Structure 1
Amino acid sequence: MAKIVCVLYDDPVTGCPTSYARDTVPAVAGYPGGQTAPTPKDIDFTPGELLGSVSGELGLRSFLEKAGHTLVVTSDKEGPDSVLDRELADADVVISQPFWPAYLTAERIARAPELKLAVTAGIGSDHVDLEAAMSRGITVAEVTYSNSISVAEHTVMQILALVRNYLPSYEWAVKGGWNIADCVERAYDLEAMNVGTFAAGRIGLAVLRRLKPFGVKLHYTDRYRLPAEVERELGLTFHEDVRSLARSVDVLSIHAPLVPSTDGLFDDELIGSMQRGSYIVNPARARIVDRDAVVRALESGRLAGYAGDVWYPQPPAADHPWRTMPHHGMTPHVSGTTLSAQARYAAGTREILECWLDGRPIRDEYLIVDGGALAGTGAHSYSTGRR
């Protein structure tokens, strides 16, 4: 029998909901490109419930305990005395989320001799040391595409919020004011701006498609160029590298994975090459940008705004400078964990566990590391010192 340790974020401060704003969430059967939504044998939850916090347990407890397995669910993940560290010694599986990541470092992996599978409930597996996982033969999997559109929608929202100066305007309304001039002194139309994405995979391409109706000029760069028919359909301008892209756009949205070549990429020099008054939205990974370079650029006016929902580490300290820097639209890491998305990534997590426990192959598109090497989506999206 297997021991599964599941690290999830805390319940709401007021307790888990007894009712929800909506009675249902729309069902999604598949995604662009033909990939189907998760297809577990069964689920033990109601779609639209809060599944991503500790009480929700991703809807896994009944399924696992009926089969004789042990499930440990916790939000306590930091430090040598954390529940995660205490339970790692004999854990076969660790499940985590990008929003509340259990950082599976090489040191932690070394202290988990029984660990065979690391699952991301969602997308993005950079909180796992992939080199260490490959060396140990640990399988790493994620629920690819389960919340990609959720993140794309959040990105478009944050672009509009920055350019239209939405948050300060909302604050005036809450405070009882009618300060039109204060609201519009930093507000612009998105129409006719140059907007670009750094990477155009599942999320980046979804953002480009959603932005086209706004009458913007669309740009992108990616290690894999999109088909010519997609470029024509969306009127895309392709850039050979991110530096060309950064110089050319008013709004830059980041959708690349965190790999050695992107770690700290947006530093003072690269941000400084952007035209004054540009905006950056980063729903990818915080370490792709230099934390303090972003603060300096906002304070100097080089950037007109910065938004995103990814921080490092997660959760960030109370005195993290992004909490108080000017002209920002930061949120906690929530873009991919809507109640709609939770239904999909909980079902996908169960599908992965069903396959692994039954000795059946895990879907290729869910695999990041398998058999000691990058595999499936991992081979397409990630790079390590070996690749």
Structure 2
Amino acid sequence: MPSKRLSVVVTRRLPDEVETRMKELFDVELRSDDTPMTRAELSEAMWRADVLVPTVTDTIDAALIGQAGERLKLIASYGAGIDHVDVETARARGILVSNTPGVVTDDTADMVMALILCVTRRIPEGLSLMQAGEWSGWSPTALLGGRLGGRRLGILGMGRIGQAVARRARAFGMQVHYHNRRRLRPAVEEPLEATYWESLDQMVARMDVVSVNCPHTPSTFHLMNARRLQLMKPTSVIVNTSRGEVIDENALIRKLKAGDLAGAGLDVYEHGTDVSPELRSLPNVALLPHMGSATREGRIEMGEKVIINVKTFADGHRPPDQVVPAML
């Protein structure tokens, strides 16, 4: 007699290939429309499921975990970020947590370079001019930006994505600098020709471009605060494809409005979808709707990782991408 299949609840629409494979393997409940579950719906799902598959749009906090049913044994998050799940409370309840690291590294690093180019070459301003039908022809002095070659790039967070950004930046002729909790091993650092800064303050004061590539944790909240933003050169730009909470957004807006910063490229925001109208109105800012990892290939690979984590757990083994509090 075949063993009973795990009951799996998926909180958002996933690519068809992923949903179809889940249907083949598990007793899966799929989302009919692509809207986030309400808090009440999440609570109900966590009561009836063996496995919950949430995304970054679902806040799985201590209160929700406390209401979970005895059946729930795995939260297999669809995404690399894990700051939306209270991992410590889940662990205390005997609920494992997994994520999908690594699969969107190149996609996100590509978007970092796209944002750097957008801001330094004033692409949003050019697009706006064309879309408004206001372009009157080429001019030697119109929309002058700056070339990337020779500029100093400071990478805040030199994990998988930070290193992928460094490789791309070198191809553009940029000089790579970085700040990280720990210095990289020489075997990793030397091929990137990367300069390590133990002091974040000293690094940001000397960079032409700062790229935020660290996760959001209690220790990185407002890591780029008003004081550190003030250290940046007026000619420098900042890009963020990681988590909005790492930058003090109000302080960033003040610097941009005052002309104390040349520009910013953002794919994530401190208050989620509640993006400041002031930020949206600034001409020297490139804003994207959290699409850094939005490639079809990446989304499918994320789903495959979720399936592997759930299937491994169903077979009685530790999910390969299990997250524990010590990792945060």
TM-score by length of 2: 0.89
CA contact (8 A) 1:143 1:345 kept: yes
CA contact (8 A) 1:5 1:84 kept: no
The reply to whether residue 59 of structure 1 matches residue 18 of structure 2 is yes
The alpha-carbon deviation at position 206 of structure 1 amounts to: 0.5
The alpha-carbon deviation at position 344 of structure 1 amounts to: 1.0
CA contact (8 A) 2:125 2:283 kept: no
The reply to whether residue 2 of structure 1 matches residue 3 of structure 2 is no
| Alpha-carbon distance between aligned partners in 2 of 1:212 and 1:85, rounded to the nearest angstrom | 47
Query: Residue by residue, what CA displacement relative to the aligned partner does 1:168-199 show, whole Å, maximum 9, x if unpaired?
Result: 11222333314545984451111111111001
The reply to whether residue 169 of structure 1 matches residue 126 of structure 2 is yes
Is the alpha carbon distance of 1:239 and 1:318 closer, same or farther for their aligned partners in structure 2, counting shifts above 3 Å? closer
Equivalent residue for 2:304? 347
Q: 1:266 aligns with which of 209, 219, 224?
A: 224
Is the alpha carbon distance of 1:62 and 1:183 closer, same or farther for their aligned partners in structure 2, counting shifts above 3 Å? farther
CA contact (8 A) 2:235 2:262 kept: yes
Residue 285 of structure 2 aligns to a residue whose secondary structure is coil
Q: 1:150 aligns with which of 102, 107, 110?
A: 107
The alpha-carbon deviation at position 324 of structure 1 amounts to: 3.0
Q: Name the amino acid aligned to 1:233.
A: P
The alpha-carbon deviation at position 142 of structure 1 amounts to: 1.2
Q: Name the amino acid aligned to 2:259.
A: G
Residue 220 of structure 2 aligns to a residue whose secondary structure is coil
Is the alpha carbon distance of 1:350 and 1:280 closer, same or farther for their aligned partners in structure 2, counting shifts above 3 Å? same
CA contact (8 A) 2:153 2:174 kept: yes
CA contact (8 A) 1:172 1:178 kept: no
| Alpha-carbon distance between aligned partners in 2 of 1:339 and 1:297, rounded to the nearest angstrom | 36
| Alpha-carbon distance between aligned partners in 1 of 2:128 and 2:283, rounded to the nearest angstrom | 15
The reply to whether residue 196 of structure 1 matches residue 151 of structure 2 is no
The alpha-carbon deviation at position 305 of structure 1 amounts to: 1.2
Is the alpha carbon distance of 1:253 and 1:319 closer, same or farther for their aligned partners in structure 2, counting shifts above 3 Å? closer
The reply to whether residue 112 of structure 1 matches residue 68 of structure 2 is yes
Query: Residue by residue, what CA displacement relative to the aligned partner does 1:49-106 show, whole Å, maximum 9, x if unpaired?
Result: xxxxx26366235544x5562414264436544x3344332232221233xx211111
| Alpha-carbon distance between aligned partners in 1 of 2:277 and 2:58, rounded to the nearest angstrom | 20
Equivalent residue for 1:324? 281
The reply to whether residue 279 of structure 1 matches residue 237 of structure 2 is yes
What are the residue-to-residue correspondences of 1:103-252 with 2, within 5 Å? Answer: 103-114=59-70, 115-176=72-133, 177-178=135-136, 180=138, 184-252=142-210
| Alpha-carbon distance between aligned partners in 1 of 2:283 and 2:62, rounded to the nearest angstrom | 37
The alpha-carbon deviation at position 248 of structure 1 amounts to: 1.4
Q: Name the amino acid aligned to 2:59.
A: Y
CA contact (8 A) 2:19 2:30 kept: no
| Alpha-carbon distance between aligned partners in 2 of 1:113 and 1:241, rounded to the nearest angstrom | 46
Q: Name the amino acid aligned to 2:7.
A: K
| Alpha-carbon distance between aligned partners in 2 of 1:106 and 1:261, rounded to the nearest angstrom | 19
Is the alpha carbon distance of 1:182 and 1:123 closer, same or farther for their aligned partners in structure 2, counting shifts above 3 Å? farther
TM-score by length of 1: 0.76
Residue 205 of structure 2 aligns to a residue whose secondary structure is helix
Residue 210 of structure 2 aligns to a residue whose secondary structure is strand
CA contact (8 A) 1:219 1:238 kept: yes
CA contact (8 A) 1:5 1:94 kept: yes
CA contact (8 A) 2:73 2:95 kept: yes
CA contact (8 A) 1:282 1:307 kept: yes
| Alpha-carbon distance between aligned partners in 2 of 1:292 and 1:299, rounded to the nearest angstrom | 11
Query: Residue by residue, what CA displacement relative to the aligned partner does 1:86-131 show, whole Å, maximum 9, x if unpaired?
Result: 4332232221233xx2111111111213332122223111111122
Query: Residue by residue, what CA displacement relative to the aligned partner does 1:239-265 show, whole Å, maximum 9, x if unpaired?
Result: 003212111101000111111110111
Q: Name the amino acid aligned to 2:69.
A: P
| Alpha-carbon distance between aligned partners in 2 of 1:107 and 1:320, rounded to the nearest angstrom | 32
Moved more, 218-227 or 229-238: 229-238
Q: 2:252 aligns with which of 273, 294, 301?
A: 294
Is the alpha carbon distance of 1:191 and 1:138 closer, same or farther for their aligned partners in structure 2, counting shifts above 3 Å? same
| Alpha-carbon distance between aligned partners in 1 of 2:248 and 2:140, rounded to the nearest angstrom | 30
